[in-house]
Amino acid sequence: EVRLVQSRAEVKKPGESLMISCETSGYSFSSYWIAWVRQMPGKGLEWMGVIYPGDSDTRYSPSFQGQVTISADRFGNTAYLEWSSLKTSDSAMYYCARPMGSDMLAGHYYFDSWGQGTLVTVSS
């Protein structure tokens, strides 16, 4: 069974750094891309970016390029999403998800498995 288990909720102040995680099991982590998706309070879903743990090839949505860093530890079967300086506008639920599709490099993928989400609250 494919499982994606995310780290607990976080409460941070503006300007602080943060790394949240997504630990996977039930499949070969290094052989599948893994993505991050944001959901702001009461809003829809936004694709942030994706990483291939096998070689750390990472692609970002233009909306999130330079705002976050996606990484992966292929030996620990875990993906990470990191901020160096949080803003109040980063307050949201963040999901990791496993993409599936015909051509990952061309962006032809949907998400067949999801983590439970990590709620990030940034407030002074």
Partner 1 sequence: EIVLTQSPGTLSLSPGERATLSCRPSQSLSSNYLAWYQQKPGQAPRLLIYDASRRATGIPDRFSGSGSGTDFTLTIRRLEPEDSAVYYCQHYDNSPLTFGGGTKVEIK
DSSP-based three-state secondary structure for 89: helix
Q: Give which of 40, 22, 11, 42 is closest to 111, Cα–Cα.
A: 22
Which member of 51, 68, 95, 122 binds partner 1 (CB under 8 A)?
95
Stretch near partner 1 under the rule CB under 8 A, chosen from 7-15, 19-27, 77-85, 99-107 = 99-107
Instruction: Note whether 61 binds partner 1 by CB under 8 A.
Output: yes
Q: Give which of 114, 62, 64, 115 is closest to 89, Cα–Cα.
A: 64
Which member of 41, 62, 66, 124 binds partner 1 (CB under 8 A)?
62
Distance CA 52, CA 103 (A): 13
Task: List interacting residues with partner 1 (CB under 8 A).
Answer: 44-47, 59, 61-63, 95, 97, 100-101, 106-112, 114-117
